[in-house]
Amino acid sequence: MPDQYRLYLDQMIQTHVLHVLTQAGYDVIRATECGQSRADDREILTTAIADERILITLDNHFGDWAVLPLRYHHGVIRLKVNPTTSRNILDLLIPFLEKTNPMAMVNHLVILAKTKEKWILTAG
């Protein structure tokens, strides 16, 4: 299933996460490697949508509709992990990706934490 995923990592996610996901067979790029190291959230989301990728972020602004309204998109995964080490991110993210169909992510914000996941339909 990794080859069905198209992922876009926010710039705050470490390069090591990119390498591990790529080695595991996921189609993944990182905002920093696309010239978006200083891009704002709206630009990052716009790029993920244009590239038909699921955005993975640590940023709390995703889900705050007053700050960044989500309309049609291929999915946003907001990770709630502390501390934000590569290992903690991967330990949370990989099992989720392995059990989830990427098509189910369309127009959903998933808030993913160690003890729970919350799915929110953001556009109909």
Tokens of 61: 């602004």
Element housing 32 (H / E) = none
pLDDT reading at 68 higher than 60: no
The pTM of the full predicted model, rounded to 2 decimals, is 0.89
Report the C-alpha gap between 9 and 77 in whole angstroms.
10
Q: What integer is the mean pLDDT of 43-68?
A: 79
Mean pLDDT taken over the chain: 87
| pLDDT tens column, 7-28 | 999 988 999 999 999 999 999 9
pLDDT reading at 1 higher than 70: no
Q: What does the angle CA 104 – CA 105 – CA 110 come to, to the nearest 5 degrees? A: 125
Cβ atoms of 95 and 111 closer than 8 Å: no
Domain that holds residue 89: 2-121
Q: Give the number of domains in the chain.
A: 1
Cβ atoms of 20 and 92 closer than 8 Å: no
| pLDDT tens column, 69-103 | 567 889 999 999 999 999 999 999 999 999 999 99
DSSP H stretches of helix in the chain: 15-23, 41-50, 86-99
